[in-house]
Structure 1
């Protein structure tokens, strides 16, 4: 239900009439104002240290504070149809992200030409006045109302969930990580970035000359890192696995080699890192506008998983989500429809997985399916379909029917919805970090943070 704004026309305005509007200043307000105004002063950006004291200031711009007065004049008193003629303000204090602000106006005079004069001020919720002045507006002559149903919404493209993950992980000891074939600049940069943020301690395995050339391209000194010369990618992957068995590494990271070459060493029956569970990949996604992390699985390892494999895929994802702080993950088993249809095999698997969770064969999370994508993530869509479930509309983990659909979901969220995507392979003795040349710095860091938090939870 959209709000309806009604005005008070000029003839109905009386001296002393007043109105106010309360607004919580949030970090996204500061980002939106920075884009709209072009004012990129770091003192007003939530994540920046503008004065060099070692912590962000997140000071609300004074001009933004002034706009709160315009919202009262334009929405309430006089309301729709009002136009500014002048506004002057004295700024007596500062506001920050997290403050509750109250903008107030009061009619002080009316002119025969239709002008209306107002006292205007903004105060914090403790009564401290931080802006004060007066305004002159042209008041509407006739009664009007306006329903705000055609104003586009805004989604700020920032990734607060990954920021929280990084903050949690950076308090952990660095995770010793065997990095296989970091022989290109992008592959090496991801490992070194994780090291810079104390998430991992890289052990570089590959062709020494190529790794050094990549470091030279990045203009980075890698002399402080252990470097094991092994030009053959298959043997380099095997050496990485051996470092895990020796207790020298607690994670494996993909560099510039084929994923199959790396995983072949990981799943080797005699020398690999197998456990009693099937390996699967989980994308951990920070989607702008979504109030929680979103986990997509499996989009990289199991092409057409059968029911037994999907049990492990689901359990792996639940375990990962719990290690990242999700107390009881809600798991939506996806299909094209939300009802069981014998002609759509994925609906049968989904129903079986749900029942297996009810019987304790999958633990730690709430599992429901089949669910279509809309009613898995949108509560209104689930209610429209009449689905009564603790998962429908609230899913935090999405289990795709097959690799193709999972990969499409993850890539669409990344390149259309501007999500950041980290992720790891789990089900082995240690997490395996798979990086992509398309990953940006935030995604690379997130993958390292996910691996560090998962490894800490398993130890």
Structure 2
């Protein structure tokens, strides 16, 4: 019988226990139990944690650690029988069967013998599965408490398992499965992370890079870092401004299908991109999207615009939203839910973000924004938490399950994205939309992996423009 629902923890003293008394505990083995035990113990035996290896093992599937079942005995001894004050002296165990995922074990300990001179108790330990088959057997000897102890259970931190950032990064790259590499101009890759990012994207089969910048400087950096420049073309220009101009020209002439920002300033590249005469403008305003994988959120989350438009007016927000919706469609999100963020959930004439949100919703109703479901104004908590929305009585198809967050301005968007990245361990990929070609626009502080993740989005966009998306 499990005692997890009881708020207090109370022992049975040596004098209260009689030979033949027993206590039991039942648990079902879940995949996360195996993972958690492996993390805590450091036992990464592939029999327990590697499904591919396990299929070729004698058990043909992942099985639990033997000591996971043995912990049930420790649980009983330490928490209920005898309980607080118990000191382990000895434990002997025999493992009769493996425990598979979904097996339900019932561990039972029975008082076998008492030793009055030192208050030791010898317990018989038996653990059976749901079929009644013996899984673990043995004995445990403990020093039993002699004083009564009753205390409130200590509240322990909640532990949630989430995929590592590396695993989430690999999952993001899966969106490019089956897509051929695209030609990409990497503009001024003159620091370690920007050059590594371009070469990592090359190595992952995402791009055929043209490195635009001072060739001698780039080659010297590659040699210093031990990087191989195979497969890279060069466009040798003397400095970052010339690199921005030349990279944009390559895209305008159709020689590359995407751009990646290197170690130059964002405004240096974007000023060339938005140039009316020689840039990459379309009939849409240019905007930026952070695509974020947040461990505590059940779906990809887009934040826009946090990098290009400083204080967008209503017409600009229309294009920002439509750009994000179009990207969501390319990423196989057929009808994305767009939350229009503000500080409150009601329209307030003194808060322009709420007025814009109301106008955008009506524009969507009239077909001026297409392909998504819009709602706002919504505060951030209501946009991403169903519980928060219900608590405030908000009935909405968007609240609590937003795919896209439209932020009021660049400051709020930038802070929100970086808070999620640095405080919530989110994986962030950044892309510029609304230009003739996708532009990988990342911070100079971003890692090579972040740059490669962003490149994956550009690859999908380029193939959709070709008509070759999967």
Q: TM-score range by the shorter chain?
A: 0.7 to 0.9
How has the CA–CA distance of structure 1 residues 309 and 131 changed in structure 2, closer, same or farther, with 3 Å as cutoff? farther
How many pairs align?
446
CA positional deviation for 1:46? 5.7
1:289-308: CA deviations, max 9, x gaps? 33222221111000000111
CA positional deviation for 1:34? 5.5
Q: Which residue of structure 1 aligns with residue 365 of structure 2?
A: 358
SS class of match (1:121)? strand
Q: Which residue of structure 1 aligns with residue 260 of structure 2?
A: 253
How has the CA–CA distance of structure 1 residues 274 and 138 changed in structure 2, closer, same or farther, with 3 Å as cutoff? farther
Match of 2:349 among 334, 342, 350: 342
Match of 1:26 among 11, 23, 32: 32
Q: Which residue of structure 2 aligns with residue 167 of structure 1?
A: 174
Q: Which residue of structure 2 aligns with residue 225 of structure 1?
A: 232
Instruction: Name the CA distance, whole Å, in 2 between partners of 1:263 and 1:92.
Output: 67
5 Å-filtered alignment, 1:95-110, equals 99-110=101-112
Q: Check if 1:277 corresponds to 2:284.
A: yes
1:89-134: CA deviations, max 9, x gaps? 44567678xx3343321233344447362434375x8988765544
SS class of match (2:179)? coil
Q: Which runs of 5+ in 1 are unaligned?
A: none
- CA RMSD, Structure 1 to Structure 2 (Å): 3.6
Instruction: Name the CA distance, whole Å, in 2 between partners of 1:338 and 1:138.
Output: 60
Native 8 Å contact 1:65 1:122 kept in 2: no
CA positional deviation for 1:198? 1.4
Q: Which residue of structure 2 aligns with residue 154 of structure 1?
A: 159
5 Å-filtered alignment, 1:3-402, equals 3-4=5-6, 10=12, 18-26=24-32, 30=35, 32-33=36-37, 36-37=40-41, 39=42, 41=44, 43=46, 61-64=65-68, 66-67=70-71, 70-71=74-75, 78=81, 81=84, 83=86, 85=88, 86-91=90-95, 99-112=101-114, 113=119, 115=121, 117-121=123-127, 133-136=138-141, 150-155=155-160, 158-159=164-165, 160-402=167-409
Native 8 Å contact 2:23 2:76 kept in 1: no
How has the CA–CA distance of structure 1 residues 251 and 49 changed in structure 2, closer, same or farther, with 3 Å as cutoff? farther
CA positional deviation for 1:59? 7.3
CA positional deviation for 1:405? 0.6
Instruction: Name the CA distance, whole Å, in 1 between partners of 2:131 and 2:292.
Output: 39
1:332-386: CA deviations, max 9, x gaps? 2111111111111111111222232333332333221111122222222222212
Native 8 Å contact 2:168 2:427 kept in 1: no
Native 8 Å contact 1:82 1:137 kept in 2: no
1:256-305: CA deviations, max 9, x gaps? 22212222232233333222221111112222333222221111000000
Instruction: Name the CA distance, whole Å, in 1 between partners of 2:257 and 2:408.
Output: 31
Instruction: Name the CA distance, whole Å, in 1 between partners of 2:326 and 2:137.
Output: 54
- TM-score by length of structure 2 reads 0.81
Native 8 Å contact 1:161 1:292 kept in 2: no
1:19-65: CA deviations, max 9, x gaps? 311131228x63x555544x3757489689999x9xxx987654455
SS class of match (2:108)? strand
Max radius of gyration: which structure?
2
1:137-167: CA deviations, max 9, x gaps? 667886968567x221235572354331123
How has the CA–CA distance of structure 1 residues 431 and 81 changed in structure 2, closer, same or farther, with 3 Å as cutoff? same
Instruction: Name the CA distance, whole Å, in 1 between partners of 2:136 and 2:335.
Output: 46
